[in-house]
Chains A and B, each alone.
Chain A
């Protein structure tokens, strides 16, 4: 069975602060893919990153960075110098083995205050 846990339901920060969103996953498969999506109020899920289980290299894209640690089954997402436009719900998702679907966490509502 696959499971994704996002323990932080809501986070509120002041603009320019750094913030980390946690994601813990469970799977018995050795090959799997992890995703982060951003969901603004409009509803569309905006793809942010995909990480493969065999590539533990961390990644940085502008103000965004991701820390993938297989030893702790975590795939955390950090926003540096947050901005008001970063306010949204962020979802971590897992596609495992031969499964065709994504399993999502319950999401973290991030609010960045001016």
Chain B
């Protein structure tokens, strides 16, 4: 049973560039959320996708956008990169119906380390 997989693992970009990060959810899961974790801090919610639509968004600018594909995989795009975008980007996977029940668990991938120089 494959867990949450993310790519790339590490990448370095130049200020002003654009980046795309990818995530495949855990088998059987249909909901993908993205989090940004700056060094020494807890993860911060960016947005969540379900049924190929953005369902909820955290306090992040429009430079952060995403997409979910019919196979439930997802992409996170960040435009006009700033130095402050350097962080670990984590993808979280869950089952939508389970969010309304007690039995749901949210699983995370290993993350993509983004460095903006």
Which A residues form the contact surface with B (CB < 8 A)?
4, 33, 35, 37, 42-47, 50, 52, 54-55, 91, 93, 95, 99-107
B41 contacts A102, C-beta separation under 8 Å: no
* Closest B residue, CB atoms, query A104: B42
A104 contacts B43, C-beta separation under 8 Å: yes
B90 contacts A45, C-beta separation under 8 Å: yes
Contacts of A50 in B (CB 8 A): 104-105
28 contacts between A and B (CB under 8 A): A4-B42, A33-B104, A35-B106, A42-B110, A43-B88, A43-B110, A43-B113, A44-B109, A44-B110, A44-B111, A45-B43, A45-B90, A50-B105, A91-B42, A91-B43, A95-B99, A95-B106, A99-B56, A100-B33, A100-B48, A100-B56, A101-B56, A102-B43, A102-B92, A104-B43, A106-B40, A106-B41, A107-B41
Contacts of B41 in A (CB 8 A): 106-107
A1 to B43, CA, bound (A): 17
**Beyond A99-B56, A101-B33, 14 extra complex contacts between A and B, CB < 8 Å:** A33-B102, A33-B104, A43-B90, A43-B110, A45-B43, A45-B90, A45-B108, A47-B107, A52-B102, A101-B48, A101-B58, A102-B106, A104-B43, A106-B40
* Closest A residue, CB atoms, query B42: A104
